Amino acid sequence: MCTTVRSIDDLGAEFEKYVTQLFEQRYNQTAGLPYDRNLMGSLSETLVGLSSEFLNSYEEPRSFYLNSIYRIAEARKLPLSNEIYDQRMTLISTKKFQIHKKAVNWGSWRQFNAQSINSKDRQLIFDEFVKKIPDLAPLILKRFNISRQVYSLYGSSPLEAFLEREFLSYEKLYDLILALGDGARKPFLQVANHYAMEILDKETFEYFDDFYLARARIYSPLNTYFKKKDPILAAKSFLSNWGFENDLAQIEVDNENRENKSPSAFCFGVQIPNDVRVVYKHVSPFSDFTSVFHEFGHAIHATSGNSEDPYWKRYIIPMSVAETFSTFIEMLLQYPVFLQQELGLSEEVTQEVIDRRHFINLFFLVFYSANSLMKLEFWKREYTLEQASTRFQELTKRFFWEMPGDYWLLHHIMPDYDLYTPAYLLASIRVKEWINEMIDEYGDQFWKEKQAGAVFRDLAAMRGEFDLTVWDMDPKLYLEEQSAFSFL
């Protein structure tokens, strides 16, 4: 028998052919369009074959190696993922309340919370869902175990792979997140009390008043200033002046309201850099701005990719790098000069935007620090379900207030991804550092300077080769900024 080993470039080209088809199906699924589960299954199997071929023949590039392990784990988990997706919608459902004439379920829970004025109703649903979710836990844990097994076959683990790609040690990452959670606690609790009456109609936040409820309500007073503005036009207008005019023509935007469309906005680089799609559903005027800006950041990160670059460099990106470009564009919406000059807001409204953004960022910090530390320990110490939930409960108590431990199983990221939430925290710290550099170098209207735009593009074009070692990653600057309020 004669075996020929294909070159890395040839394998990469094959990967791209099947990955783009799989992304197309995932895109359709998330966008609420018809999709084909059988096709997804067979594409995943083809990718398993290619991944095994890579793993048997090569050890470098490491990103390609680790991603091949990831692809195999994803394919092995696919049947369970589909089962969890279906079961969650039926199991996590209540007969007591309806929205749009249908029982409130896991998918419509946040929409119901955003509208329901009665906090007792919200508490009832919260308690019911927290009580029901452990029934799904065996499937969720089984899925994590598949990841653990697949990675261990190749001498790694989901945790080690994450750390390796982010150039961080476990201790360094752990301490960084601990500093964020502990540092955000005091200002967060102070400001939560300040806003409680306005957004909850009661004196204080309670365990069932979660991050998503606060985020859905805190921006209400801003809507009047944003309802006549179009977020797509605003994003396109400054980006085309910044040097991304040609990129914008490549970005397809879908803002239609389909029933099965994901409630949160997203961006898919189906083929990089030529087929990039942004999808969002109208929620409310200001939050539409934040979603659209965030997703356009992902989109120009993708269109900046260099089509000459090999597959692995264009497609395989550390998670915190993926979130860096989106977070950068989103952060402009709390940068006073941008709000005044570009969006024409008064000084007073600008301050209102900034205070409310800071509040949500602090809530994000305390909540995502608890999420992230629990997940780090989960992999490191091989927690059982009970240990994981107990630890999550302790961490919520440490960083903000005590939540029922099993709540993490209801989250849309924590049970579904091996390890993702630290990426957002890392990206926020990096972006703060980067925006400061931009201001130093190009002045306080850097988003109008073509040279600054070119720098942004150059770093975006690095894709999987983005240099993570040059950043200070000092959480202080970011924490300090989010802790500043006009009324404290």
Q: Which is nearer to Zn ion, 275 or 323 (CB)?
A: 323
Helices and strands: H and E segment counts in the chain: 21, 5
By CB under 5 A, which span of 177-185, 322-330, 342-350, 451-459 interacts with Zn ion? Answer: 322-330
Q: Which is nearer to Zn ion, 21 or 326 (CB)?
A: 326
Rounded to a whole number of angstroms, the minimum distance from the CB of residue 22 to Zn ion is 20
C-beta separation of 330 from 339 below 8 A:
no
C-beta separation of 317 from 290 below 8 A:
no
Encode 155-188: b = buried (16+ Cβ within 10 Å), e = exposed.
Answer: ebbbbbbbbebbebeeeebbebbbebbebbbebb
Rounded to a whole number of angstroms, the minimum distance from the CB of residue 323 to Zn ion is 5
| 184 vs 423: CA distance, rounded Å | 18
The number of CA neighbours under 13 Å toward the Cβ of 402 is 5
By CB under 5 A, which span of 10-18, 104-112, 127-135, 318-326 interacts with Zn ion? Answer: 318-326
**Which DSSP state fits 242?**
I
Helices (H), 334-384: 336-341, 347-381
**Which DSSP state fits 271?**
E
Q: Which is nearer to Zn ion, 21 or 303 (CB)?
A: 303
Q: Which is nearer to Zn ion, 302 or 366 (CB)?
A: 302
Whole-Å CA distances, 155 to 11, 72, 139, 159, 284 = 22, 14, 25, 12, 47
Q: Which is nearer to Zn ion, 404 or 464 (CB)?
A: 464
| 306 vs 218: CA distance, rounded Å | 40
By CB under 5 A, which span of 321-329, 428-436, 452-460, 479-487 interacts with Zn ion? Answer: 321-329
Q: Give me the residue whose beta carbon is nearest to Zn ion.
A: 326
Helix (H) or strand (E) segment spanning residue 267: strand 266-271
Rounded to a whole number of angstroms, the minimum distance from the CB of residue 16 to Zn ion is 22
**Count, residues near Zn ion per rule CB under 5 A:** 1
By CB under 5 A, which span of 320-328, 337-345, 374-382, 445-453 interacts with Zn ion? Answer: 320-328
Rounded to a whole number of angstroms, the minimum distance from the CB of residue 331 to Zn ion is 12
Q: Which is nearer to Zn ion, 44 or 326 (CB)?
A: 326
Q: Which is nearer to Zn ion, 92 or 427 (CB)?
A: 427
Q: Does 324 participate in binding Zn ion (rule CB under 5 A)? A: no
Rounded to a whole number of angstroms, the minimum distance from the CB of residue 276 to Zn ion is 14
Q: Which is nearer to Zn ion, 68 or 326 (CB)?
A: 326
Rounded to a whole number of angstroms, the minimum distance from the CB of residue 285 to Zn ion is 20
Pairing mode, strands 275-279 and 251-254: parallel
Cβ of 211: how many Cβ atoms within 10 Å? 16
By CB under 5 A, which span of 37-45, 94-102, 126-134, 325-333 interacts with Zn ion? Answer: 325-333
Q: Which is nearer to Zn ion, 326 or 482 (CB)?
A: 326
Contacts from 160-169 at CB under 8 Å and sequence distance 24+?
A: 161/66, 161/69, 161/70, 162/319, 162/418, 162/419, 162/422, 164/62, 164/66, 165/63, 165/66, 165/318, 165/319, 166/318, 166/319, 166/320, 166/422, 166/423, 166/426, 166/468, 167/468, 167/469
| 236 vs 242: CA distance, rounded Å | 10
User: First and final CA of the chain: distance in angstroms?
Assistant: 76
Q: Which is nearer to Zn ion, 46 or 326 (CB)?
A: 326
Q: Does 326 participate in binding Zn ion (rule CB under 5 A)? A: yes
By CB under 5 A, which span of 19-27, 126-134, 218-226, 326-334 interacts with Zn ion? Answer: 326-334
Rounded to a whole number of angstroms, the minimum distance from the CB of residue 143 to Zn ion is 22
Q: Does 303 participate in binding Zn ion (rule CB under 5 A)? A: no
| 318 vs 311: CA distance, rounded Å | 15
Rounded to a whole number of angstroms, the minimum distance from the CB of residue 412 to Zn ion is 13
Q: Does 428 participate in binding Zn ion (rule CB under 5 A)? A: no
Q: Note the residue count of the chain.
A: 488
Rounded to a whole number of angstroms, the minimum distance from the CB of residue 265 to Zn ion is 9
Rounded to a whole number of angstroms, the minimum distance from the CB of residue 56 to Zn ion is 34
By CB under 5 A, which span of 132-140, 204-212, 323-331, 335-343 interacts with Zn ion? Answer: 323-331
Q: Which is nearer to Zn ion, 67 or 326 (CB)?
A: 326
- Interface residues with Zn ion (CB under 5 A) are 326
